[in-house]
Structure 1
């Protein structure tokens, strides 16, 4: 039985219809690869493995390790880099992805494959020591939090300490010496927690794969499925995508962002998104830095911006729905990391459905079937009067994490 599906460079063993076993993320990457959209090559371990894992006392199918190693070799050939190599190391991200999108519920690890030797090779092969050290400290922190279970605040406290010492405001302003100090301090955090940071990249990979499968049954994910009435019996579990890293933190000609092919608040057909310069994906959702509007991507690379807009049109025509995408620009070259059907307000859902009928993308029947009873309920709720809003006194400004307004009690756990 096949458990691992390769994709990249215009080729994929899976496709967009295989969400059941590849998860939304893996299916999206395979489908984009087939459509010749630039995605970093990688492979997806099927959600069937997750099903097997929980039914067999957290063990894997007998041939899985061999399949993963074969696909890792294919990834080395596709990228021209070698996993664990001291001179030109292949680094990967390890990401979860179920059939139904569960944003923020399961875990991701970036920059896997770095250790005390490969970080030197990365610095030499890219001629960028600061970038290599920044990637290493990120990996040690993320691996500690996601795979080893160390409180991430312990790492954050050290970042605050070095920023205060160096009198800088943002992570990307920390000096090379500051990053070297951070890496040493991070390793001490492991020691104090009675854990060890593994230097063997293959050991790192399997610990990370374990962590993603285990995150399927973490409290956040279980609560999310319960609240959203998602039955476990309808899903095999999560798939695991192992994808070659592309770096948005290589300098001022690099960046990372998220975007919608239409405005998720109003449904208007205008490009909507944000990105950060010299950053990795987790920075965008962490809220540490204020992102730039998508338009400003032109300042990094007009070519990457134009290509992204073309890809928006390709994806909408292909999926016949508004898409939510993640992308990275590495040294002015664009890579797509994810596409999925976008969440939207009820007002936006109605407008998008109506507009797509007029654009000839979907039928009237499809448009009606896309509007849920919950969205109709939401449409009937009171909303702000636009004239009153314009004349109201502004008391504060902030970054909207989601569209709309709410009132009620503030609670800090699902049980409460």
Structure 2
């Protein structure tokens, strides 16, 4: 039997139309969502999304959806925590744009601007949020967005200079501890920031006084001493750029998933390490504006006995960390 020529074989393999078939372009994979927004009665997440948003993030989304007055914000998912540790403490390329969009949404809802030096600036809280509650094990930063200029804008906008400087000294203390690592050394008996406050109280008032009794001048001096302490311990200036503050805080909260406290707690309660934590960034609501404001915690059961009764504790002229951290007795 005669063999076909090479030309005949090529012709036989061509499509009947004589045209080349076009390859379909490869499907583009949509980048995974990093940030889930909530505010104004709308939320990207819901209460069933605890594995992705953590307990706090899922509940904030659910409360927003059912119409409760939840300050706006966004949750960076637990998947980003996994990515963070798998990629040398870095983030997906798309995350920064999503975080910036989250801040823009908060600005629009709150009517304030992040880093504003002319009017009341947007200040935010940055908190952890694991799938299962891990109270006190991971880190929190409050009053983020304050610096030497925005603190003056807060004082002017609120007509409450003491409140502004109280927020600023709180922020430097929390950020200095959590993000910059200014913590108690082995040879020290007390936390360094608390030592600064104690020394100032005895220099100026010759006794221990409640923090609420500190004057504006006292608080300004504490801010200056706190900054000197940060510079002395770290060799770095305290950051003034609110965006740099936010980036540092997000990294610190993700980093706190692997701190010693959190590791021990997970082992005790059989919480898997691979679950990770979410990070919640939310507009601040202030309990330290004076005697007509306060902060507290509430439960649907008595935490000591388990009895099904409404139970709560609060402090006047305080922020939430004063209640849960034992700074003052409720």
Query: Is residue 50–residue 239 contact of structure 1 (8 Å, CA) maintained in 2?
Result: yes
Matches within 5 A, 1:119-158: 119-151=151-183, 153-158=191-196
- Which residue of structure 1 lines up, in the alignment, with residue 132 of structure 2? 100
Query: Is residue 162–residue 174 contact of structure 1 (8 Å, CA) maintained in 2?
Result: no
Aligned residue for 1:151, secondary structure, equals coil
Cα separation, 1, equivalents of 2:145 and 2:310: 35
- Which residue of structure 2 lines up, in the alignment, with residue 180 of structure 1? 220
Cα separation, 1, equivalents of 2:175 and 2:38: 25
Could you give the per-residue CA deviations for residues 4-38 of structure 1, whole angstroms, max 9, x where no partner exists? Answer: 01111211111111111111111111111111111
Count of residue correspondences: 289
Deviation at 1:288, TM superposition (A): 2.9
Could you give the per-residue CA deviations for residues 281-334 of structure 1, whole angstroms, max 9, x where no partner exists? Answer: 11012223221xxxxxxxxxxxxxxxxxxxxxxxxxxxxxxxxxxxxxxxxxxx
Aligned residue for 2:59, secondary structure, equals helix
Deviation at 1:42, TM superposition (A): 0.5
Aligned residue for 2:179, secondary structure, equals helix
Matches within 5 A, 1:40-119: 40-86=71-117, 87-119=119-151
Cα separation, 1, equivalents of 2:281 and 2:242: 13
Bigger drift between 209-218 and 268-277 goes to: 268-277
Cα separation, 2, equivalents of 1:253 and 1:71: 31
Cα separation, 2, equivalents of 1:202 and 1:103: 27
Cα separation, 2, equivalents of 1:8 and 1:279: 25
- Which residue of structure 2 lines up, in the alignment, with residue 8 of structure 1? 39
Cα separation, 2, equivalents of 1:41 and 1:80: 12
- Which residue of structure 2 lines up, in the alignment, with residue 223 of structure 1? 264
TM-score norm. by structure 1 comes to 0.68
> Which of 217, 228, 249 pairs up with 2:288?
249
- Which residue of structure 2 lines up, in the alignment, with residue 265 of structure 1? 304
Query: Is residue 198–residue 208 contact of structure 2 (8 Å, CA) maintained in 1?
Result: no
Query: Is residue 168–residue 174 contact of structure 1 (8 Å, CA) maintained in 2?
Result: no
Greater relative contact order, per chain length (Cα 8 Å cut-off, separation 6+): 2
Matches within 5 A, 1:320-335: none
Bigger drift between 267-276 and 8-17 goes to: 267-276
1:278 matched to 2:310: no
Larger radius of gyration: 2
Unaligned runs of 5+ in 1: 292-416
TM-score norm. by structure 2 comes to 0.85
Could you give the per-residue CA deviations for residues 149-170 of structure 1, whole angstroms, max 9, x where no partner exists? Answer: 0016111011112222224521
